[in-house]
Amino acid sequence: MAFTSENNYTDRQLVNRVLGGDAQAFVLIIKSTEGLITQIICRMINSIEDRKDITQDVYLKAYNSLKGFRYSAKLSTWIGQIAYNTCVNYLEKKKLVLPGELPDNETSAGNELNEIEAEVIVTKKALTTILAAEIEKLSALYKTLIVLYHQEELSYADIAQVTNLPEGTVKNYLFRARKKLKENILAKYKKEEL
């Protein structure tokens, strides 16, 4: 990333710079939150065109509401909450609960792999594909919780702020999501196949 020294700004410093008219500071905010926002939107919204519109809407809402940011949470969590709420509003408006698409994560292997290493990589890819496919079949909420916790590595407290759910509810739903995922995988695939 080209923003070496500017990456060390605190949330308060970035917000103050944006409110002071520094457009580049908002670019830094976007760069630092785009991974989280993309994960939330892609897990909840199926349509690629709608994802783009929602992403723009999220950052527009964040920009317009920035003066109301109270620093009670991390800036990324606050913008994540805006993304989550925007997706929920979209789904309610459209009366849809659609899965998103997982990016195709390619595993890069060395030039010369022995047979055992190649088999391990193929097995891991197959298991990753099965897991990704089964995660996609979960409800938007369960899928989002799994992604925020396991891929984005957010704490229960941060997820609670993003989803506007009590922390205990987040833990409960995450437990249910994992249980449902396990049940789906075991029901579909015999233990020998895994």
Residues 124 and 183 reside in one and the same domain: yes
Average pLDDT rounded to a whole number, residues 64-91 = 88
pLDDT, position 146: 87
Tens of pLDDT along 96-115? 443 333 333 333 444 344 55
Tens of pLDDT along 34-46? 999 998 888 888 8
Identify the CATH number of the domain in which residue 154 sits.
1.10.10.10
Residues 80 and 159 reside in one and the same domain: no
Residues 119 and 71 reside in one and the same domain: no
Residues 71 and 121 reside in one and the same domain: no
Residues 64 and 19 reside in one and the same domain: yes
Examine residue 193 and state whether it is found in any structural domain, yes or no.
Answer: no
Residues 85 and 165 reside in one and the same domain: no
Contacts by residues 51-60 (CB-CB < 8 Å, ≥ 24 positions apart) = 51/100, 54/83, 54/86, 54/87, 54/90, 55/83, 57/86, 58/82, 58/83, 58/86, 59/30
Look at residue 3 and tell me whether its pLDDT is greater than 80: no
Burial per residue of 102-119, b for 16 or more beta-carbon CB atoms within 10 angstroms, e otherwise = beeeeeeeeeeeeeeeee
Domain boundary among 59, 94, 129: 94
Task: Please give the residue range of the domain that contains residue 163.
Answer: 115-188
Tens of pLDDT along 7-21? 678 888 999 999 998
**Residue pair 94/50 in contact by the 8 Å Cβ criterion:** no
What is the DSSP code string of the chain? ---TGGGG--HHHHHHHHHTT-HHHHHHHHHHHHHHHHHHHHHH---HHHHHHHHHHHHHHHHHHGGG--SSS-HHHHHHHHHHHHHHHHHHHHT----------PPP--SS--HHHHHHHHHHHHHHHHHHHHHHTS-HHHHHHHIIIIIS---HHHHHHHHT--HHHHHHHHHHHHHHHHHHHHHHS-TTT-
Tens of pLDDT along 107-162? 344 434 455 555 555 556 666 667 777 888 888 888 889 888 888 888 899 898 88
Look at residue 56 and tell me whether its pLDDT is greater than 80: yes
Question: How many domains is the chain partitioned into structurally?
Answer: 2
Identify the CATH number of the domain in which residue 23 sits.
1.10.1740.10
